[in-house]
């Protein structure tokens, strides 16, 4: 079945440094790749997403890159701040022809700790 | 103010008891989902529904049941057959077309067995 692998599971950086989280997906026809941020005890919130016809997307300090050939995509956070500390989930939307659904397949999450 | 509402926020269940978690959305989304999250873990899909009166099992459906009688509502029942129900339960929804593949999540229900 569809699978999304996410690395690393934990990431600790100093404030001001960059953080990179990587995900790989199994379904080559996947066409949508969102990233969610979940603070402790709260709901996941969409922070950025990218569709399969785009290679990179930026929103202020956050960027996502997609390599369809290698079937991986990455989240880049620059100039990290303590409030960036949270769990980040990647996801992919498989596209399996007539059997496609709108459900997302999630990675296992990355706990990012930004040290002041 | 459009959104997705889960209730209650906290729920305590006694051994052998069925409990129902509510999920309501006013986003006019076709698809709705239930996920379970254990401490420090990822999101595991319990059930999902792409349209009213239809739903499919996810990866961990045993011990759970759902209904989708209205587009706005997708309640989850945790039955006595679910032996380890203590977890954080998240409901989500999205539209069925290119305008909204991304999920909107509810604020979650924390279920504890007492």
Residue-by-residue DSSP string for B3-47 = -EEEE-SEEEE-TT--EEEEEEE-S--SEEEEEEE-TT--EEEEE
> What pLDDT score does A98 carry?
45
Tokens 């009688």 identify what position? Answer: B69
DSSP code of A103?
A: P
CB contact under 8 A, B90 and A45: no
Q: Which two tokens stand for residue B34?
A: 């239930």
CA gap B111, B90 in Å, rounded: 11
Measure the CA–CA gap between A73 and A47, rounded to whole angstroms.
15
What share of chain B in percent tops pLDDT 70?
Answer: 94
Distances (CA, A) of B93 to A68, B3, B26, B103: 26, 9, 10, 5
Query: pLDDT-derived band of residue A54, with 50, 70 and 90 as boundaries?
Result: confident
% of chain A surpassing 70 pLDDT: 95
* A interface with B, Cβ–Cβ below 8 Å: 32, 34, 36, 41-46, 49, 89, 93, 101-104, 106-109, 111
- Cα-Cα-Cα-Cα dihedral of A27, A32, A37, A40, to 10°? -50
Average pLDDT, chain B: 92
Closest by CA to A31, choosing from A1, A68, A5, is A68
Between residues A103 and A111, which one has the greater pLDDT? A111
Query: Is B23 an interface residue toward A (CB < 8 Å)?
Result: no
Determine which of A26-30, A43-47, A109-113 has the lowest per-residue pLDDT on average: A26-30
pLDDT class for B100, splitting at 50, 70, 90?
Answer: low
CA angle A80/A6/A114 to nearest 5° reads 20
Question: Can you tell me which residue has the tokens 């569709």?
Answer: A51
Residue A84, helix vs strand vs coil: helix
How many Å apart are CA A49 and CA A116, to the nearest integer?
Answer: 28
Nearest by CB to residue A106, choosing from B43, B88, B104, is B43
Interface size between A and B, measured as CB pairs under 8 A = 54
Q: Are the C-beta atoms of residues B90 and B34 closer than 8 Å to each other?
A: yes
Q: How far apart are CA B3 and CA B20, in angstroms?
A: 20
Residue with tokens 């949508």: A32
Rounded to 5 degrees, φ, ψ at B48 are -145, 160
Tell me what the mean pLDDT of segment A29-56 comes to. Answer: 92
User: What confidence score (pLDDT) does residue B102 get?
Assistant: 86
């Amino acid at each position: 079945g569809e699978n999304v692998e996410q690395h690393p599971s934990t990431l600790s950086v100093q404030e001001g440094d960059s953080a990179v989280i990587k995900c790989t997906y199994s379904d080559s026809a996947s066409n949508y790749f969102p990233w969610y941020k979940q603070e402790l005890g709260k709901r996941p919130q969409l922070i950025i997403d990218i569709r399969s016809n785009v290679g990179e997307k930026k929103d202020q300090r956050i960027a996502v890159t997609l390599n369809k050939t290698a079937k991986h995509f990455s989240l880049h956070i620059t100039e990290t701040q303590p409030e960036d500390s949270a769990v980040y989930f990647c996801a992919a939307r498989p596209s399996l022809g007539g059997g496609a659904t709108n459900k997302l397949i999630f990675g296992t999450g990355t706990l990012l700790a930004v040290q002041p | 103010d459009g959104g997705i509402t889960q209730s209650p926020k906290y729920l305590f269940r006694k051994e052998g008891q069925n409990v129902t978690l509510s999920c309501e959305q006013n986003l006019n989304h076709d698809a709705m989902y239930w996920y379970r999250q254990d401490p420090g873990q990822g999101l595991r899909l319990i059930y999902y529904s792409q349209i009213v009166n239809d739903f499919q099992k996810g990866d961990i459906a045993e011990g759970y049941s759902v209904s989708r009688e209205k587009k706005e509502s997708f309640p989850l029942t945790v039955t006595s057959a679910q032996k380890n129900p203590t977890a954080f339960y998240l409901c989500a929804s999205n539209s069925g077309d290119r305008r909204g593949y991304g999920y909107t999540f509810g604020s979650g229900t924390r279920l504890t067995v007492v």
